[in-house]
Amino acid sequence: MLWYQIWPSAILGLFTPQLQLGLPVMKLQLTSNTPLDAIRPYTPMRGAISTVWFDRYKISPHCPEHLESIDVMCNTLGSIIQDEVAAGIPKNRIVIGGFSMGGAMALHLACRYHPDVAGVFALSTFLNKDSVAFQSVEEQIRAGLSLPELFQCHGTSDDLVLHQWGEATSMLLKKAGMTTAFHSFQGLHHQLSQPEMELLRSWILNKLPLSTSS
């Protein structure tokens, strides 16, 4: 875990901190690309032990989600969010997000477990076509409850999580009732870029405006 210990806002980022976000007044908590307590057999690798956020039956948008492993990790990460709240950071000053499978985790956290956070960002990421996250969003909307805004980015040349998969995820969340913004980056592969980080930084500062109080 990497900590940038500045109060009173928090960002939980589920990706490798390769690039600078430049947020000098935030408490920025980034997990590395080795997920917490996530050494497990990974079915797409024929059951080989791997460090992944959750298991998957196969790498396809058309298969069921491996909810058992997803929910275990949601509970682990949810405890980090609760620790931040206990430390005095209100939920509406917390943004969560991630890259690739970390982005999928962030979406499950925000849509199903912590819909009262300030926002969620998902970079080069996906949800399966029949994800329970879509149902959770619909249930929140029917109950008249709020949901965080989604900021999503994806490279058009991503050959690991195809651009059309990421875009479909955004469209299905929007159809379910979530406020979404999807940004395409021409020629970008399955990676982060500085222009993407700059756009994300602007979005975060809009969601978490700097306090003028002493």
CB atoms within 10 A of CB 24: 9
Close Cβ partners of 55 (under 8 Å, ≥ 6 residues apart): 40, 41, 42, 43, 66, 68, 69
How many residues comprise the chain?
A: 214
Q: E strands of the chain, at which residues?
A: 2-4, 10-14, 27-31, 39-42, 48-51, 94-99, 119-123, 149-155, 180-185
CA 54 – CA 70 distance, rounded (Å): 5
Catalytic annotation on 71?
A: no
163 is catalytic: no
Place of tokens 């994806």: 154
Distances, alpha carbon 4 to alpha carbons 90, 117, 175, 183, in Å: 18, 20, 36, 27
Query: Is 62 one of the catalytic residues?
Result: no
Task: Return d(Cα 43, Cα 54) in angstroms, integer.
Answer: 10
**Catalytic residue among 9, 100, 136, 170, which?**
100
Say which of 66, 116, 183, 190 is annotated catalytic: 190
Candidates 114, 158, 163, 170; catalytic one: 158
Q: Which of 191, 72, 178, 199 is nearest to 127 (CA)?
A: 178
Residues identified as active-site: 100, 158, 190
